[in-house]
Chains A and B, each alone.
Chain A
Amino acid sequence: MSVLTKAGVIARWAMLGLLLGAPLVPLVPMVAWSDEGTQVGIDNFKFNPNPLTVEKGTEVTWTNHDDIPHSIVLNSIGVRSKAMDTDGTFAYKFDKAGTYFYVCGLHPFMQSKVVVK
């Protein structure tokens, strides 16, 4: 993950704003700029969002919210995560544009894709 994500930059500005006594204004863009676009949740055996579209160079993080372990298998690039228990995460940075189909290795009927622009 790059050291300074958009959210990270905003958070730093927000901190600076707090220090300078302008507490709330810099916080507003944080919502719009949050990095939710790089997150995929797993709930009740479904990926969300499905599909996910990101910019080249983005790191995508999957988080398992189920009581059952899941894993991420990106077959076309030979990437397999370990099994993620509840609240477990897996992150992968997509450096090249393309469409990356993936499944859960334990429940391959769970299918989605990451579209990298």
Chain B
Amino acid sequence: MSIDIPDPDRRGFLKCMTWAGSAALWTVAGGIPRSHIIGQANAAETGFTFAQVSDSHLGFDKPANPNVTNTFQQALDYVTAMPEKPAFIIHTGDITHLSKPAQFDTGAQLLGATKLPVYTVPGEHDVLEDDRKSYLNHYGKGTKGDGWYSFNASGVHFVGLVNVMNLQGNGLGDLGQAQLEWLEKDVKGLSSSTPIVVMAHVPLWLVYQDWGWGTADGAQALSYMKRFGSVTVLNGHIHQIMQKVEGHVAFHTARSTAFPQGVPGVAQAPGPVMVPPGDLQKFLGTAKVTLVNNKTPLAIVDTPLAG
């Protein structure tokens, strides 16, 4: 598998659109796919499902969503009510808006109330203050370096990466040498049939260079996973769903639970997008990820909070 990253212009972006493989996903203005499945549509019930939430931006209180605590709660309520009880929740970063202790406390309280295990990776909004100590105090236990880690669950190997500490170029994520070396070693001993799930805040593949929506050394990280039959990369950061399947690797970005962001190539800037009153929940959501079998990417179903 190779990651095609050279073309930083609109053409490159349009190519990404093709990769997504679903015109509806991309072309509807403020596209709101109700659900979209990677892999097999009739995902077998294997008893192993986990939920992804992202970009809760606790502390944000501007008109795009004056009550992000409420919409995050709605997302978590949806997760805990899933008929196939998720094994755990992953949060792919920007838990808080400004890294304030009170914002982390709110997050811990809401996530804790689900009674489900929670795995997180930091977003750049989680490491604005205190040399990232607030984040690590809450979520750094047992992690390495800036907070990266791995674990196994139901035969799947999960890797949580940190790519927000040293933004590059236009704002591209960066993993750094120490983390890359750790990652190479981490996956080295695994059998090639082990399904891999990689979590990181900023997309590991290049979504849109102009806004720094990609990871400068993401291709290097993915090169360590070439030999695996099923790799699923789950990201946040861009507050909208984008997907790409390349060989055995499925890339997916989740909706935010707080507010939608501009669509690259359409919006002037990546700020919060105001949507008509009453419509906000259609733009926010969660993702459910199910292990189908270990030869294909995991099945992902995105669900908006309403609509």
Contact = CB atoms under 8 A, between A and B. Distances in A.
Interface stretch (B32-40, B153-161, B264-272): B264-272
Given A67-B271, A83-B98, A107 B171 contact: yes
A85 B99 CA distance: 12
Interface in A32-76: 44-46, 66-69
Interface in A58-117: 66-69, 82-83, 85-86, 105-109
Contact of B269 (A46, A85, A108): A46
A85 B128 CA distance: 11
Binding site secondary structure of chain B: loop
A106 B270 contact: no
A68 B259 CA distance: 11
| Size class of the B contact interface (CB-based, 8 Å) | 20 to 34
Nearest to B125: A69
A85 B171 contact: no
Contact of B271 (A66, A82, A108, A109): A66
Contacts, number: 49
Contacts of B60: 67
Contacts of A66: 271
Contacts of B171: 106-109
A106 B269 contact: no
Contacts of B63: 67
Contacts of A67: 60, 62-64, 271-272
A82 B272 contact: no
A106 B270 CA distance: 12
Nearest to A69: B98
B167 A105 contact: yes
Chain A at the B interface: SS class: loop
B124 interface: yes
Contacts of B186: none
Interface in B92-143: 97-99, 124-125, 128-129
Contact of A83 (B62, B128, B170): B128
Interface residues of A, number: 16
Contacts of A68: 271-272
A69 B270 contact: no
Contacts of A46: 269
B212 A44 contact: no
Contact of A45 (B62, B124, B271): B271
Nearest to A85: B98
A108 B212 contact: yes
A82 B98 CA distance: 10
Contacts of A69: 97-98, 125, 128
Contact of A109 (B64, B99, B125, B170): B170
A53 B103 CA distance: 39
A4 B52 CA distance: 55
Nearest to B128: A83
Contacts of B269: 44-46
Contacts of A105: 167
A69 B169 CA distance: 19
A54 B167 CA distance: 29
Contacts of B97: 69
3 closest A-B pairs by beta carbon, nearest first, are A45-B269, A109-B170, A67-B62
Given A105-B167, A108-B168, A108-B170, 13 more contacts: A67-B60, A67-B62, A67-B64, A67-B272, A82-B128, A82-B129, A83-B129, A85-B98, A106-B171, A107-B270, A109-B170, A109-B211, A109-B212
Interface of B: 60, 62-64, 97-99, 124-125, 128-129, 167-171, 210-212, 268-272
6 contacts: A45-B270, A68-B272, A83-B99, A107-B212, A108-B171, A109-B211
